[in-house]
Amino acid sequence: MLKFFARYKPFAIVLAVLSVIIMYFIYTLLKPEERLPVFQPDMVNAELVDTTVQYVRKYHKIADFKLVNQNGDTITEEFYDDKIYVADFFFTTCLTICPIMTDHMIEIQETIKDDEDILLLSHTVFPVTDSVPVLKEYAVEKGVLDEKWNLVTGDKKQIYDLARKSYLATKSTGDGGKYDMIHTENFVLVDKKKQIRGFYDGTQPEAIEDLMHDIEILKKEDR
């Protein structure tokens, strides 16, 4: 019996290897490719969406914009052409969720700093105080890389319209007066077509892990 197994041992090994290879290819072919949804306004909690776009079911994209970054440079949607980016809303004097969100953005920046396809965009929700010099000081303090991450200020109405009509990211309209602000913990993942592909709680480490995973999915999709 031992002589029989010894004689056919090489054949058995080859058969086992081929079986593993075949099973791997079958699994690969049958496993569906992971893809992210394209979020439309009617798919999002209605409280986060302006009533003017609440029932839009297709073709939603981030609107054109014109804001100013920490270096005094004009930043438009063209800066993000053919880029995947993560957007959020903050203000420099926030003592609650913003410091946590900024720390998580710094972690993301560190991960994607050598990836030319990925950028970051943070909008101040308190432009009355977050001037260019204030944003610059904040950027230097936090270690913001200018080539990867824009902190932008500008017209309050434009920023708030972007938050609710484009990024679908905040419940508050911020229209209660000069010092009334929107507040949101949402990080928004935007693809190269300026479509929303994911929402993440910027205060939660687990959500940041999900975000980084989803960025990789988008990169594979682009290939």
Q: Are 9 and 48 contained in the same domain?
A: no
Q: Are 171 and 128 contained in the same domain?
A: yes
Q: Are 118 and 213 contained in the same domain?
A: yes
pTM metric for this prediction: 0.85
Q: Are 8 and 61 contained in the same domain?
A: no
Mean pLDDT of the chain: 89
pLDDT of residue 24: 46
What is the three-class DSSP state of 89?
A: strand
Phi, psi dihedrals of residue 118, rounded to the nearest 5°:
-115, 130
Which residues, other chains included, contact 55 with Cβ-Cβ below 8 Å and sequence gap of 6+? Answer: 41, 42
d(CA 82, CA 85): 10
pLDDT of residue 172: 74
User: What is the layout of strands, in order, in the sheet containing 149-152?
Assistant: 149-152, 118-124, 84-90, 186-190, 196-201
Region 120-143: what's the mean pLDDT? 97
Q: Is the pLDDT of residue 129 over 60?
A: yes
The enclosing domain of 109 has a CATH number of 3.40.30.10
Local confidence band at 182 (pLDDT 50, 70, 90 cut-offs): confident
Q: Per the domain annotation, does 87 fall within a domain? A: yes
Q: How many CB atoms lie within 10 A of CB 111?
A: 13
Q: Are 24 and 124 contained in the same domain?
A: no
Q: Per the domain annotation, does 53 fall within a domain? A: yes
Q: Per the domain annotation, does 36 fall within a domain? A: no
Q: Show the domain range for 9.
A: 1-31
Q: Per the domain annotation, does 147 fall within a domain? A: yes
Q: Are 116 and 157 contained in the same domain?
A: yes
Percent of the chain exceeding pLDDT 70 equals: 82
Q: Is the pLDDT of residue 211 over 80?
A: yes
